[in-house]
């Protein structure tokens, strides 16, 4: 088994879908030089946080041109991809905030639709996004390592990460568009580390960058040590090797998963 290398690749998406696609393709190509998996931000397809185009809500189905083009890029460069898109729903004017997982051969290996919508800090994601039903988590393998996926605001709900770990995740990837604001970068850093430490897993968190979001994409190991960081710059890739032995060693020192007395039971309503 090869210890996989993961990249977080951050940029600032906007309302030009073709421009966003080109940015994603460039970052995939750059990450592929060193990595087995690249994590791109939430809303990589289309982002209009300021609601400058309130009558438009660009979205596509999973077999639409945006995902199809990224499947081609994954196949061309031989790298797995996790990316956030705006997925259309034929029965609703709103979109699903969806993560798509693609294999290194370009196959669609899984989908996660965001459960916890960002109705906080003066923002109302639920005005334009459909809250997903709690069904099954997105968990998949890369080079023999189990990867679980969540999105942005999910980071504030510790049971979400524990749900993924209960499905065997050794790494949690978190595409995000973490809004800038007072103390937001500190909270991002604290919460990413906390999810890694309490679950004794790696966390690879990838955020959109300024002007609306914080960037600060990072990969944190099971002891909460930052092993890669992208800072605030757009179009930046940061990479780290995932070491299964590190996970095993930390879990021997800190057997918190074995010692816990509670389970996670999703609320259905």
Q: Which residues are catalytic?
A: 42, 114, 152
Task: Provide the token pair at 26.
Answer: 């460039």
E-strand ranges in the chain read 5-10, 37-39, 80-89, 92-102, 108-113, 119-120, 123-124, 138-142, 145-149, 171-176, 202-207, 217-220, 226-231, 236-241
What DSSP letter does each residue of 97-145 carry, written as one string? EEEEEE-TTS-EEEEEE-SS--EETTEEGGGTBPPPP----EEEEETTE
- 8 A C-beta contact, residue 214 and residue 49: no
């Amino acid at each position: 088994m090869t210890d996989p290398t993961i990249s977080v690749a951050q940029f600032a998406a906007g309302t030009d879908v073709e421009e966003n696609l080109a940015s994603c393709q460039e970052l995939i190509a750059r990450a592929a030089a060193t990595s087995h998996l690249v994590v791109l931000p939430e809303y990589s397809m289309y982002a209009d946080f300021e609601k400058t185009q309130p009558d438009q809500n660009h979205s596509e189905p999973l077999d639409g041109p945006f995902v199809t083009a990224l499947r081609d890029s994954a196949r061309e460069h031989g790298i797995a991809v996790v990316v956030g898109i705006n997925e259309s729903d034929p029965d609703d004017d709103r979109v699903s905030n969806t993560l798509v997982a693609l294999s290194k051969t370009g196959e669609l290996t899984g989908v996660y639709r965001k459960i916890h919508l960002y109705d906080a800090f003066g923002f109302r994601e639920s005005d334009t996004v459909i809250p997903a039903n709690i069904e099954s988590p997105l968990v998949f393998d890369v080079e023999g390592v189990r990867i679980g996926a969540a999105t942005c605001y999910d980071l504030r709900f510790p049971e979400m990460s524990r749900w993924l770990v209960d499905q065997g995740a050794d790494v949690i990837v978190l595409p995000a568009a973490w809004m800038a604001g007072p103390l937001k970068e500190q909270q991002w850093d604290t919460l990413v580390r906390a999810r890694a430490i309490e679950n004794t897993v790696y966390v690879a968190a990838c955020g959109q960058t300024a002007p609306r979001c914080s960037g600060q994409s990072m990969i944190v190991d099971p002891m909460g040590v930052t092993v890669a960081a992208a800072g605030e710059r757009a179009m930046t890739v940061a990479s780290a090797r995932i070491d299964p032995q590190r996970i095993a060693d930390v879990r021997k020192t800190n057997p918190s998963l074995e010692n816990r007395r509670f389970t996670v039971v999703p609320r259905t309503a």
